[in-house]
């Protein structure tokens, strides 16, 4: 079988890959099927050894992919939101006393809402650093730091503006100043090379279902020093079961209950697919599509593009005289082109770029074709021409 599109492609164009990539590589789907074909290999829980130890294999794949280790410091969660909740609330619990935290206007609600909850509970004071053009600089972060600052949570790539943040100098500065730095890599993991051996983050968050090509429901984080974050979940780990206190060893310290084996198998296969195809090849293809799309879009009267030079395959725009939801509705129902409309769970970005009204977002994957991009821009042109201006 080639990739699954050839025999199962429904009649639509999917440009919502920043939310969830589709289609998935065939080998990812095969791995999920393989994983479920035999009883799960759960170390400590099962005596059988018939199937692959996906937990160890995936952790090792992640450690190699992100150049960080040991593999046990990669923790599996449901998704990036789950990871961020564990890390943010766990760090606050560990710190114990009220402190100051910093985040940015570029963030997704997966960052903003846990921090806001802590703020409402009086656990933290919060500074939200503005972005300039499409990025947040070290200088802007430094300006927000005060003696009580203990935590900075920041996106690596904006899901609206597609801008990649230069996190290395920020990580180095925060590390030197003993401020815990959580990087949300939901949009960048898989899209661009990430070498954590060179970036001293406190924790790096990823999700599987986007550019790592896995199925929804699997994500995780890398944590440099597990002692910086308190455990907020306890339960069965298959180890040290006589002890009622949750184990402190990694990775079970942060993992309770049965794992999402199909998800982990798909993550393992997704990383293998990226390595086999070549991350440069993937990045070149998606960014070529992105640039072509932008070039075409710029020619259309009445289009406002909010990120003409993104670092990720994400293009956000509005059509004059037509509400973004309406544009998305027409594109989906009349032209069978699926994009994302609205605030993309990043309300503060939209307050800056479109008065909080939201926009249409097209996002591309390795499996998007040039023909699909052209069909999409042709459709957008027709919708723009029909709008009242």
Partner 1 sequence: MRSARWQRVRIVKSVQTKVCVDGSLMKEYVLDEPLTEGFLKFLEYFGTVRSPDNLKKPYFSFEKELFISIRGFTGDCCVEVRYKKEFQDLVADYFHLLLFYEREGERGISQLKGIEESIRGKMKVRLGHSQENGS
x/- binding map, residues 36-65, to partner 1, per CB under 8 A?
A: ------------------------------
Q: Does 334 bind partner 1 (CB under 8 A)?
A: yes
Q: Cβ 108 to partner 1, closest distance in Å?
A: 16
Non-local (6+) Cβ contacts of 234 within 8 A are 246, 256
β-pair type (149-155, 180-184)? parallel
Q: Does 325 bind partner 1 (CB under 8 A)?
A: yes
x/- binding map, residues 276-315, to partner 1, per CB under 8 A?
A: ----------------------------------------
> Which pair of tokens denotes residue 44?
């400590």
Give the integer Cα–Cα distance in Å for 314 and 363.
4
Nearer to partner 1 by Cβ, of 112 and 212: the residue is 112
Q: Does 346 bind partner 1 (CB under 8 A)?
A: no
Choose which of 8, 96, 280, 333 interacts with partner 1 (CB under 8 A). Answer: 333
Q: Does 113 bind partner 1 (CB under 8 A)?
A: no
- 383 phi, psi to nearest 5 deg: -65, -40
Beta bridge partners, 205, equal: 184, 221
Q: Does 374 bind partner 1 (CB under 8 A)?
A: no
CA 176 to chain centre: 26
Q: Cβ 193 to partner 1, closest distance in Å?
A: 36
Side-chain-facing half-sphere of 105: CA atoms under 13 Å: 19
Question: Are residues 325 and 341 in contact, defined by beta-carbon separation less than 8 angstroms?
Answer: yes
Question: Are residues 360 and 324 in contact, defined by beta-carbon separation less than 8 angstroms?
Answer: yes
Choose which of 121, 225, 249, 329 interacts with partner 1 (CB under 8 A). Answer: 329
Q: Does 30 bind partner 1 (CB under 8 A)?
A: no
Q: Does 358 bind partner 1 (CB under 8 A)?
A: yes
Choose which of 2, 227, 355, 388 interacts with partner 1 (CB under 8 A). Answer: 388
β-pair type (219-223, 99-104)? unpaired
Give the integer Cα–Cα distance in Å for 363 and 356.
20
Q: Does 375 bind partner 1 (CB under 8 A)?
A: no
Q: Does 385 bind partner 1 (CB under 8 A)?
A: yes
Nearest Cα residue to 202 out of 186, 177, 223: 223
The helix or strand, by DSSP H or E, that contains position 363, with its residue range, turns out to be strand 359-363
Nearer to partner 1 by Cβ, of 197 and 299: the residue is 299
Note the residues at the interface with partner 1 (CB under 8 A). Answer: 325-326, 329-330, 333-335, 342-343, 357-358, 379, 382-383, 385-388
């Amino acid at each position: 079988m080639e990739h699954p599109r050839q025999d199962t492609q429904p009649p639509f164009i999917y440009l919502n890959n920043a939310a969830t990539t589709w289609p998935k590589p065939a080998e990812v789907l095969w791995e999920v099927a393989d994983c479920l074909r035999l009883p799960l290999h759960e170390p400590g829980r099962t005596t059988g050894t018939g199937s692959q130890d996906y937990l160890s294999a995936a952790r090792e794949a992640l450690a190699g992919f992100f150049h960080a280790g040991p593999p046990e410091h990669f923790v599996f969660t449901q998704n990036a939101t789950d990871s961020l909740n564990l890390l943010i609330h766990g760090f606050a619990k560990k710190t114990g006393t009220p402190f100051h935290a910093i985040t940015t206007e570029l963030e997704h609600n997966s960052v903003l809402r846990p921090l806001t909850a802590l703020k409402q509970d009086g656990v933290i004071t919060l500074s939200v650093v503005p972005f300039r053009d499409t990025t947040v600089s070290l200088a802007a972060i430094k300006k927000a730091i005060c003696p009580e600052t203990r935590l900075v949570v920041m996106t690596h790539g904006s899901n609206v503006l597609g801008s990649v943040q230069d996190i290395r100098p920020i990580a180095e500065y925060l590390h030197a100043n003993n401020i815990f730095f959580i990087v949300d890599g939901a949009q960048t993991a898989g899209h661009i090379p990430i070498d954590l051996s060179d970036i001293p983050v406190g924790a790096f968050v990823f999700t599987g279902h986007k550019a790592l090509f896995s199925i929804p429901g699997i994500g995780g984080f890398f944590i440099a020093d597990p002692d910086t974050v308190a455990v907020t979940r306890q339960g069965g780990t298959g180890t040290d079961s006589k002890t009622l206190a949750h184990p402190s060893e990694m990775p079970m310290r942060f993992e309770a209950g049965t794992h999402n084996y199909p998800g982990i198998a798909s993550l393992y296969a997704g990383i293998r697919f990226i390595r086999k195809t070549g991350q440069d090849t993937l990045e070149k293809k998606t960014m070529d599509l992105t640039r072509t799309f932008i070039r075409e879009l710029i020619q259309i009267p009445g289009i406002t593009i909010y990120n003409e030079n993104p670092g990720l395959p994400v293009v956000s725009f509005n059509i004059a005289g037509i509400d973004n939801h309406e544009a998305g509705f027409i594109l989906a129902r009349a032209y069978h082109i699926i994009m994302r409309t609205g605030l993309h769970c990043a309300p503060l970005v939209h307050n800056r770029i479109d008065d909080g009204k939201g926009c249409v977002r097209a996002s591309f994957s390795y499996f998007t074709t040039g023909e699909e991009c052209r069909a999409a821009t042709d459709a957008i042109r027709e919708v723009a021409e029909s709008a009242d201006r």
